[in-house]
Structure 1
Amino acid sequence: MVPRLTALVSGAALAVSALPAGAASVNAADHFISHQGNVSYSSNWSGYAETGGSYTSATATWTVPSVSATSSSTYSSAWVGIDGDGNSDLIQTGTESDYVNGHAEYSAWWEILPNYSVTIPGVTVKAGDSVTASVAKSSGSSWVISLADDTTGKSWSATKTYTGPGQSAEFVQEAPTVGGSQSAVAHFSTFGFRNLKVDSAGPGLVSSEKIILRQNGVDYATPSNPNSSGDGFTVSYTG
């Protein structure tokens, strides 16, 4: 993610590396994951990434997590996307669960790097809502970004231009950066990504693809192992 037009939230794509997690900047993919055995760590991503193919669509359903009060502002984003793991391209859409200025804030958004993310008009989400989101190539450089609040029946869809290589597909709970610095992770409730699809089929997730969000030696967001179908998992705040 890069800065929200309204909330000044920023982030970056994730690049595969054996180096430890690095600091974020607005216009560069300078977050890294560190591979340690069958587990990977990132300073801003928690979830799963499919790599090694040429991907043209990704879809997920999740329940918007609630956030509890914190003494300072904290942030979190749940999203589905294509690219960003191993390159600086990324097309994504998702929901925001933040605790800012003494209260919880929730919203839906879409983004294509390196441009700013944009709040989705007409879809007001809240904690506990079921949301289904997708990014899908239609033809050439035309992609359709869609997000629906299944609880309220409100939905949004738009066709955008995207020219990334489609090298990865992700299902992520992220700690974005704010004002150019890595944000503290919101204390979000445990929630699940479900009905995952990559190129219209189940992704067949395996536990070795797991990414744990670690900052300063602390694991703040940890995904579960995949379900028996390999098309879903939960994420918990563990800080």
Structure 2
Amino acid sequence: MRRILSRVATVAVAAASLAATAVPVGAAAAPGLSFRPLHYNINGYNWGGYAAQGSGFTSVSAAWTEANATCNSTNDLYAPWVGIDGYGSSTVEQTGVATDCSSGRAVHQAWYEMYPANPVYLSTSSYPVSAGDHITASVTYAGSSKYTLKLNDSTRGWTYTTSKSLSAQRTSAEVIIESPTGAYPNFGTLNFTSATVNGNSLGSYGPVALDPSNGAYEARTSALGSSGTSFSETYLRE
């Protein structure tokens, strides 16, 4: 389903460029836009987190506790996710949990996307997610243009795994929060842990730090912890 945006012109232009629509799996998807890396820059725009750059990336994973977000408006939409590609390339292989405020309350829904294919939202009855749930996400390159995307909610006791094919460059790996609408709900502080790339610490790749900004910073990305596998995102404004 396509979200209709009523924001400033720059966000409206970005939203118009997001052609993908949500495709539900076994249930109606929460309204949302494609979690595609549009209009990011060194200050992040709608991205916060870290992006490792290079070549031949084969895996990325991270864990977090789903935040208890408060909606500022029905335009608020964001997701923590992990992925390969996206930062400087035209494909993204990614999975995470979206928090959507279009209904007037925060709705959490697991999803994955093999951009430029449409995002796929998982059934909320089969794969429920709530604030406080412990989430682990990973994307792994299995060779021959095949990727395994895995999402686990250990609080609820479910794991979703899918294998998809896509011809991609594998020139970046990310642990990210993103708002396709450029409007974040108040998620407080979200802590990423166990962030690894190719089985090594995220920090060992000297990743680029991104702070989402839509005229003013919307969230702040912390420095990586001493192990290079943890950092936090702190909400600042919608």
- Give the shorter-chain TM-score range: 0.7 to 0.9
For each residue in 1:102-161, what CA deviation from the matched residue of structure 2 results, as whole angstroms up to 9, or x when unmatched? 211001000000111111242211111000011101121121110000112111101111
Aligned 8 A contact 2:30 2:100 in 1: no
Q: Which residue of 2 aligns with 1:148?
A: 152
Inter-partner Cα distance in structure 2 for 1:202 and 1:13:
25
Inter-partner Cα distance in structure 1 for 2:30 and 2:134:
23
| Residue 174 of structure 2 corresponds to residue 170 of structure 1 | yes
For each residue in 1:198-219, what CA deviation from the matched residue of structure 2 results, as whole angstroms up to 9, or x when unmatched? 1112122688721000002x10
Q: One-letter code of the match for 1:143?
A: Y
Inter-partner Cα distance in structure 1 for 2:194 and 2:39:
28
Provide TM-score, normalisation by structure 2: 0.83
SS of the counterpart of 1:213? coil
Aligned ranges 1:62-101 → 2 under 5 Å: 62-101=64-103
Aligned 8 A contact 2:48 2:220 in 1: yes
Inter-partner Cα distance in structure 1 for 2:106 and 2:157:
22
Q: One-letter code of the match for 2:225?
A: N
Q: Which residue of 1 aligns with 2:113?
A: 111
Q: One-letter code of the match for 2:174?
A: E
| Residue 23 of structure 2 corresponds to residue 31 of structure 1 | no
Aligned 8 A contact 1:81 1:171 in 2: yes
Aligned 8 A contact 2:53 2:207 in 1: no
Change in 2 beyond 3 A, CA 1:227/1:114 = same
Q: Which residue of 2 aligns with 1:10?
A: 33
SS of the counterpart of 2:63? strand
Q: Which residue of 2 aligns with 1:132?
A: 136
More strand by share: 1
Aligned residues: 212
SS of the counterpart of 2:68? coil
Unaligned regions of 5+ residues in structure 1, if any?
15-29, 34-39, 177-181
Q: Which residue of 2 aligns with 1:204?
A: 203
Inter-partner Cα distance in structure 2 for 1:94 and 1:87:
19
For each residue in 1:187-237, what CA deviation from the matched residue of structure 2 results, as whole angstroms up to 9, or x when unmatched? 112111110111112122688721000002x10021111001111101011
Inter-partner Cα distance in structure 2 for 1:76 and 1:220:
12
Q: Which residue of 1 aligns with 2:236?
A: 238
For each residue in 1:44-78, what CA deviation from the matched residue of structure 2 results, as whole angstroms up to 9, or x when unmatched? 10000000232011111111112113243311111
Inter-partner Cα distance in structure 2 for 1:65 and 1:151:
14
SS of the counterpart of 1:10? coil
Inter-partner Cα distance in structure 2 for 1:99 and 1:80:
21
Task: Give identity over the alignment, percent.
Answer: 31
More helix by share: 2
After the TM superposition, list the runs of 4 or more consecutive aligned residues in structure 1 that deviate by more than 4 angstroms.
Answer: 205-208
Q: Which residue of 1 aligns with 2:227?
A: 229
Q: One-letter code of the match for 1:67?
A: A
